[in-house]
Structure 1
């Protein structure tokens, strides 16, 4: 029996004027470990009249992880953070009980041609930390653990695996790993993984038990400890996973929680605009959608 239990294809979704490929949540698989939301942004070319502009919007109950392959984003939030995200770095923002942030093309790039390509990820917080104070951490590319083994280049973007630990301050048992290979070879990761696991193919292909899987697919494993496959030449993949939570999670728009009442309170707070604005970006905001966005994760 194949160790691939589910194949999730990217589904087009809009984040304002920008289209992304949505991978999670999926109707048959709402979470992989604590990972509850994954968007693939781009690759897209923007001209001098086009910019990436995600206006101020709120979050609760999660951490966001922004990881770029190409391009640049200026992050601002209600903690007073203002920092540019560049390829290979990790932006890790923990919303906890409440945070508002915006993501835009930096001023110095707004009137030139530019590229945008990366991953936007949400990681649900453990139940006892859903109401923690918000935090922000930026990890430079050179501080992410990176090594080569058997001709494959590895980077441990977040969490713990392979006896290594990323400096990204996660709050549950998880991993996000990048693998790049220029040649075709067999990869056996079973002894290094735990909990639930999914493989996202950014480019190239992998083969598992005579089945070939191509780019823009997220493969969910039956058993992470049986994670063995053949990685194709010139292939880049990302492995997401970790220990799942016992409690159910709910999503309503940008809000994640195990408690529907916390989501209701956050929604009302945003509708009433009852919060301190973002310094340097407080003249507009993303309105709460008029359609019903609430859904369960299971």
Structure 2
């Protein structure tokens, strides 16, 4: 039995949270799965898993080995796909990382459009508000906002990302005109808990950053829910322009403090600098660039 098979089995046990579930996923018996993992531990000379009758957990070294093994298996699979993919037809699993705050956005509609257009590609979409390590965490591609700090990544700009502060006409009528960011301090604000500084909003005044403490009785982890709360006249919202664009056009919401907003930030699709790029990654990047070229969002 080769090491790669044992590694795949170990990864399946962790992913499926058990030997029985891993066996079902792999089409193998529980006993054989357990045997492979034990052989891997014997080969390495370390214990990777803590086993009890009710719970399975990674040891400290098992946790490190799991992430390294994921990366190795992913690279092996990518190499095999590149060699076998002579026709250039996209296929296989595409692992995509994207910010949670974009889950309800038109950009995700474009991602799903790609999945629909490529029936031979399976999509694993992981939404979380952190920059993942594409290589170490075995991601094929990521969607990122703002600056790109990792020069080893290849990036293609999809468009711009704009934040707006807005409220319904009823809220503006009730609480009065908002002329400066400080005017928000005593007004009800809708808190998006996805934001790192959810109790403060940052603006720019003549090149200087202003941090304004905000509070309100509605807090949610969904930008779409923030939009609905703003439409219900529950307070001032600070959210993605792309989510409220139509509401602003129709007058259901009104922008405030636009002159104090920071410059637009870019939305990029990024991938590792691989010499041989698989057709599924190339197809995804090309599809996103063609179908999501929006500016001023």
Q: TM-score under structure 2 normalisation? A: 0.26
> Rg: which structure is higher?
2
- Would you tell me which structure has more helix in proportion to its own residues? 2
- Would you tell me which structure has more strand in proportion to its own residues? 1
